[in-house]
Amino acid sequence: MVPDGGSGTGGPARASDETGDEGAVLLDDLRAAIGRYVVLPSDEALTAVTLWVAASHIQPALQHAPRLAVVGPTKGCGKSRVLDVLYETVHQPMMTVNTSPAVVFRIIGKNPPTLLVDEADTIFGPKAGDKEDLRGLLNAGHQRNRPAWRISGPEHKPTAFPTFAMAALAGIGDLPDTIMDRAVVLRMQKRKPGEKVAAFRSRHSVPELNALRDRLAAWLTLLRGTAHRLVPPMPVEDRAADTWEPLVIVADLAGGHWPSRARAACLAMTRNEVVQDEQTTLKTRLLRDIRRVFEQQGDTEALRSHDLLAALIQDAEAPWAEYGTKGLNAYHLANLLRDFGISPANHRFENGRQAKAYARNQFLDAWARYCPDPAQSTRAVGETVPARRPRGKPPAPPSGTLPIGPPGGPAGPRPTR
C-alpha cells in the first residue's frame, strides 16, 4: 500500500503542477551538497546520485529498486565517501561491509531499508565462498514480488522472504554483470590535484545532510500515491528503463529543469556503459578484430583458420598473442566464437584446395548485434538506446527532444566542487 498523493493523472506535467518549485529547489540543494563532499565522474553522475537518493524515499511506490554500483579501479577513489553521504541522506540506511544472507532476509520487509554495501568485491570475488545466497538476493531484489523461499521455524514450513530493496554497492573493479545490468553505474576515479572537496566532518556535515534527508522525506512521502501512478516516458527501454524509471519519476515530480536533466543523464550514462561493455568484453573485441581482418583481405568470402589466427596474433595492440599460455590457437578461437553460433568448416578455395575456414557470412549477424559499424549505428539526438549490449533492430525514438550531450557536457549547470 502507498499513501494517497492526490488525484493526479500520472503524467509528468500534472506531478510538476502539484509540487510547484519545492521539489526542484530541494533536489538542487541536495545535488550541491553531494557535490561538495565527493568528486563524481560527470555532471550526469551527480544528477543520477541525487535522484537515486530521493527515489529511496518512495520505495513503497516503486516496481523496481535500482542498484547503485560505485566502482573504481583501485582504492582511494572516493567509493566509501559516497556511501558515507548516502548513509546520511537515504531512507532508513543499513550499512554493512560483511553480512549474512539470513540477516538481510529478515531485515527486508514491507518498509525495507536502503542497503549500503561497502567492499562488495569481497562478496563477488574469487574468495566469496558461501555468499551466493546474498548475490541471488541482490539480483532478485531489483524487482518487486520476487521473494526468496526458505524452510523456517520450528515446524520447518516453507516461508517467503521479501527481497525488494534499493541497494548501493561499492567495490574495486566491476561487479558481476547481473548486478551491473540492474545498476546505475558510477565509475569513480582518483581526484586530480586541482579537484577539491569539503572535509566530511560528523559535527558539521551530518546535521546538514540529515536536514536534507528530512526535507526529502516530508516532500516525497505525501507523493507516493502520485509516484505509484506515474508512467513516465523513458529515453531507454528494457532493463535500463526499469532501472532508471524511479529516478525519472522523482525528476518529474520535482519539475523545473529536472525532467530533462534526468533523461539526459539516463541517456549519457547508459550509452557510456554500452561503450564500456564493448571495450572490455573479450568476445566483442574478438568480433571487431575479425571484422577488421576480413576488411583488410577485401571482405573475402572465407578465411582459413590458420590465416585468421596469424592476422589476429600479429596485432600488437590486441590481447591475442598473450591469450592462454602460448597465444590464441584454433581451439581457443572456436571456443570463443561458439556462443555466437560461429564455427569453422571445410571450405574449397579458388585454387581448388580445401581447408578449415571461417565464412564471412557467419559473422554478419553477430557483427550487427554486438559491434555494429559506427557509421551505420550513429543515432539521432534523442533516439532510444537499448540496455547495455544491443540486440535486434534499433528501438523507436521517444517523443519530444532532449538536451543530451556527452558525460560532463552541457546537460545542465556544472556544480561547484
Give me the pLDDT at residue 135, please.
75
Give me the pLDDT at residue 69, please.
95
Give me the pLDDT at residue 385, please.
43
**Length of the chain in residues, anyone?**
417
Report CA 136 to chain centroid distance, whole Å.
17
pLDDT at 413 over 80: no
Which band of pLDDT confidence, cut at 50, 70 and 90, is reported for residue 384?
A: very low
Range scoring the smallest mean pLDDT among 31-40, 211-220, 378-387: 378-387
Q: What is d(CA 140, CA 179) in angstroms, rounded to the nearest whole number?
A: 10
Give me the pLDDT at residue 176, please.
80
How is the chain split among helix, strand and coil, in percent rounded to 5? 45, 10, 40
DSSP designation for 396:
P
Spell out the long-range contacts of 70-73 with Cβ–Cβ below 8 A and sequence spacing 24 or more: 70/168, 70/169, 70/170, 70/171, 70/186, 70/188, 71/170, 71/171, 71/172, 71/173, 71/174, 71/175, 71/185, 71/186, 71/187, 71/188, 72/172, 72/187, 72/188, 72/189, 72/190, 73/172, 73/173, 73/189
pLDDT at 144 over 80: yes
Q: Let me know the angle formed at the C-alpha of 167 by 161 and 173, rounded to the nearest 5 degrees.
A: 125
Which band of pLDDT confidence, cut at 50, 70 and 90, is reported for residue 123?
A: confident
Tell me if 177 sits within 8 A of 168, measured CB to CB.
Answer: no
For the chain, give the percent of residues with pLDDT over 90.
Answer: 51
Task: Decide which of 386 and 53 is more confident.
Answer: 53
Give me the pLDDT at residue 75, please.
85
**Sequence-ordered alpha helix ranges (H) in 1-87:** 12-19, 22-37, 43-55, 79-87
Range scoring the smallest mean pLDDT among 14-18, 201-205, 285-289: 14-18
Report CA 24 to chain centroid distance, whole Å.
25
pLDDT at 157 over 80: yes
All three cell numbers of 390 = 544491443
Task: Decide which of 45 and 384 is more confident.
Answer: 45
Q: What is d(CA 122, CA 132) in angstroms, rounded to the nearest whole number?
A: 12
pLDDT at 37 over 50: yes
Give me the pLDDT at residue 369, please.
80
Tell me if 240 sits within 8 A of 12, measured CB to CB.
Answer: no
DSSP per-residue string spanning 198-218: ----HHHHHHHHHHHHHHHHH
Give me the pLDDT at residue 232, please.
96
Give me the pLDDT at residue 389, please.
43
Structure confidence by residue, pLDDT tens digits, 208-234 = 999 999 999 999 999 999 999 999 999
Tell me if 197 sits within 8 A of 38, measured CB to CB.
Answer: yes
List all residues 6 or more positions away from 26 whose beta carbon is below 8 Å from its beta carbon.
212, 215, 216, 219, 254
All three cell numbers of 242 = 526499469
Q: What is d(CA 280, CA 155) in angstroms, rounded to the nearest whole number?
A: 49
Give me the pLDDT at residue 31, please.
97
Mean pLDDT of 107-129: 76
Phi and psi angles of residue 313, each rounded to the nearest 5 degrees, phi first: -70, -30
Structure confidence by residue, pLDDT tens digits, 323-365 = 888 899 999 999 999 888 899 999 988 888 899 999 999 999 8
Range scoring the smallest mean pLDDT among 100-109, 311-320, 371-380: 371-380
Range scoring the smallest mean pLDDT among 96-110, 262-276, 339-353: 96-110
Give me the pLDDT at residue 404, please.
39
Distances (CA, A) of 145 to 63, 109, 112, 337: 9, 12, 13, 37
